Amino acid sequence: MPLFGNSFSPKKTPPRKWASLSNLHLLDRSTREVELGLEYGTPTMNLAGQSLKFENGHWVSESGSFTGDRRELQRLRKRNQQLEEENNLLRLKVDILLDMLSETTAESHLMEKELEELKQHSRRKK
């Protein structure tokens, strides 16, 4: 005869509830974002001691001013402007050269066609 009885019969567990026990789903969106940490804020980074944040598609200095050498910044802007003007001039030259090439090619094809017609005409006379 066993000490505690012959069989072990545990109590049946009740079925789980399908709904979450959390009440966060009952909260509105803004409260849920705060509770769950879904508000990330603006991305920021630190480059060479300069703190930058991303706003409206551009990286902006958090202090609102450039801490580097103003003359260097002005020189870079001037150089950038010169390069943009040079780039526009070179694009214009390439467009003109392509137009000239297409015109010359068309004239060449016309001359070749005319030469072939003259050759055929001279063969017919002989």
List, for residues 70-92, the tens digit of each pLDDT value.
788 889 999 999 999 999 999 99
Is residue 7 assigned to a domain?
Answer: no
Write down the residue that tokens 């966060």 correspond to: 24
Strand partners, 44: 53
Is 2 contained in some domain? no
Domain membership flag for residue 108: yes
* Verdict on whether the full-model pTM lies above 0.75: no
Residues 41 and 69 in one domain: no
Residue 24's H or E segment, with its range, is none
Residues 50 and 72 occupy one common structural domain: no
Identify whether 100 is part of a domain.
yes
**Domain count for the chain:** 2
Residue 30: name the closest of 21, 22, 38 by CA. Answer: 38
Instruction: Measure the CA–CA gap between 100 and 116, rounded to whole angstroms.
Output: 24
Domain that holds residue 55: 25-63
Looking at the chain, the whole-number percentage of residues with pLDDT higher than 90 is: 35
pLDDT in tens, 25-40: 667 777 777 777 766 6
